């Protein structure tokens, strides 16, 4: 099976802009979770989508949002970008629960100038 794919791999944006990241899970996986990784805060859970519904949410402001399509592909959107949003954004999929084994994509490196 093909692994989790994320596009784009690198992004450079300026403050105030918005960005959309895409994730395609492993075929057959219905749970897609998003994480933000920064040197200071480490890996933090953003949210999880399952069967097109947001099932769980971390402690991030409303500027961070996402959605999932019927084919389980997921997008994450960040509006009104801030410098502190610069991070590696990781997507992970699992067959059922997001606390089961997670299969991660390579990540999208977002730099906000």
| Pairing relationship of beta strands 103-104 and 42-50 according to DSSP bridges | unpaired
Among 21, 105, 110, 112, binds another protein (CB under 8 A): 105
Among 32, 90, 110, 112, binds another protein (CB under 8 A): 90
Cα pseudo-dihedral 102, 4, 112, 11, rounded to 10: 170
Q: Does 103 bind another protein (CB under 8 A)?
A: yes
Is the Cβ of residue 26 or residue 78 nearer to another protein in the bound state? 26
Q: Tokens standing for 32?
A: 């897609």
Tell me if the bond preceding 8 is cis, omega within 30° of 0. yes
Q: Does 4 bind another protein (CB under 8 A)?
A: yes
Within 14-73, the residues that bind another protein by CB under 8 A are 33, 35, 42-45, 48, 55-56, 58
């Amino acid at each position: 099976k093909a692994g989790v794919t994320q596009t784009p791999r690198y992004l450079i944006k300026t403050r105030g802009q918005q960005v959309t990241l895409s994730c395609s899970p492993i075929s057959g996986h219905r749970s897609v979770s998003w994480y933000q990784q920064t040197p200071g805060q480490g890996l933090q859970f953003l949210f999880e989508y399952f069967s097109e519904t947001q099932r769980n949410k971390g402690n991030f402001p409303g500027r961070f949002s996402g959605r999932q399509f019927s084919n389980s592909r997921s997008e994450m959107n960040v509006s009104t970008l801030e410098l502190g949003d610069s991070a590696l954004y990781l997507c992970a999929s699992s067959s059922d629960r997001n606390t089961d084994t997670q299969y991660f994509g390579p990540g999208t490196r977002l730099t906000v100038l």
